[in-house]
Structure 1
């Protein structure tokens, strides 16, 4: 596993803090954490160092499902905006 996900209830929102390097092997864990979140969900990406293509795609998918991105580095924001 190359990421750590910390879930925090910040009523009325759940915050998922994703730390490390998001790779294809981590998608299932992140998806499970998102699906188990209560109410609106924010993704705190302040400690996310990198994401491979599959990692970027799952982040984009979660955003399209309503997740709010917080504190992403300029590099991660660029990855999320750039179409591959």
Structure 2
């Protein structure tokens, strides 16, 4: 099952930069089992509105059935990986 992680961020967002380091580790570990989509809210406000993003960073975990989980604020690796495992089950 395909798992997607949408990362809603902005270049001016300090906490988003913290989240990037965590996401890089996860992507390196999950490889082809994970599709990471980075969404710059300044460039793609329509997508941010569609997902009702109000704070940054926001992470949305999806599979073929839709949204499985979402996180607002800097989220630790363990929490993200737990949601990804659930989405891929």
TM-score (norm 1): 0.29
RCO comparison, higher one (Cα < 8 Å, 6+)? 2
Identify the structure with the greater strand proportion: 1
- Structure possessing the higher radius of gyration over alpha carbons: 2
TM-score (norm 2): 0.28
